[in-house]
């Protein structure tokens, strides 16, 4: 997904020209971007008192963490804190390599893992990146959830007309 987003928004210009690339990129959004941009109120039940948000590297590099934070902020009574932890250390398949294990772990231990361990009672850890969620679980034992999973768990059913 991250590579797709970068390609759609940046590299497509070189292939199809600025106008076409701009039109193409305008239709490509991450889940959090799309949902945060929708003006309709989400019928959400109260959830966790606090969410610790870990932004995936592509979200950070493209300035999209604010959308995720705004979307999660729609949960009634929640405080959303950006872990501001940088990379989790996985970097795709990098962290799975035996030769990279210690470096991968050290990157996560700089900020992310300590923040997760110190999250406090009732705090849900949210991370959009699959590799980030695996890395968090592998090194802290905490199960982070995708923003869509958390929101779905709190969504009231909307009556169909």
Identify the pLDDT of residue 4.
47
Which parts of the chain have pLDDT scores under 70? Answer: 1-29, 39-40, 157-161
Residue 1, domain member (yes or no): no
This prediction's pTM: 0.78
- Count up the domains in the chain and report the number: 1
Question: Which residue, among 36, 47, 52, 121, has the nearest Cα to 78 in the 3D structure?
Answer: 47
- What phi and psi, each to the nearest 5 degrees, are found at residue 5? -65, -45
Residue 62, domain member (yes or no): yes
- The DSSP letter of residue 73 is T
Identify the pLDDT of residue 10.
60
Q: Which domain holds residue 76?
A: 42-154
CATH number where 118 lies: 3.40.50
pLDDT per residue over 35-66, tens digit each? 777 756 778 889 999 999 998 887 777 777 88
Query: Cβ of 115: how many Cβ atoms within 10 Å?
Result: 19
């Amino acid at each position: 997904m991250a590579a797709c987003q970068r390609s759609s928004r940046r590299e497509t210009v070189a292939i199809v020209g600025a106008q076409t690339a701009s039109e193409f990129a305008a239709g490509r959004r991450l889940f959090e971007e799309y949902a945060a941009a929708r003006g309709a109120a989400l019928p959400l039940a109260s959830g966790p008192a606090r969410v610790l948000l870990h932004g995936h590297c592509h979200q950070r590099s493209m300035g999209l963490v604010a959308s995720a934070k705004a979307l999660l902020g729609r949960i009634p009574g929640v405080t959303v804190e950006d872990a501001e932890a940088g990379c989790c250390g996985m970097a795709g398949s990098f962290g799975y390599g035996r030769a990279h294990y210690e470096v991968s772990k050290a990157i996560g231990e700089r900020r992310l893992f300590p923040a997760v361990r110190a999250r406090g009672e009732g705090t849900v850890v949210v991370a959009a990146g699959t590799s980030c969620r695996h890395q968090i679980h592998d090194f802290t034992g905490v199960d982070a959830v995708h923003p869509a999973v958390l929101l779905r768990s709190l969504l009231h059913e909307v009556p169909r007309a």
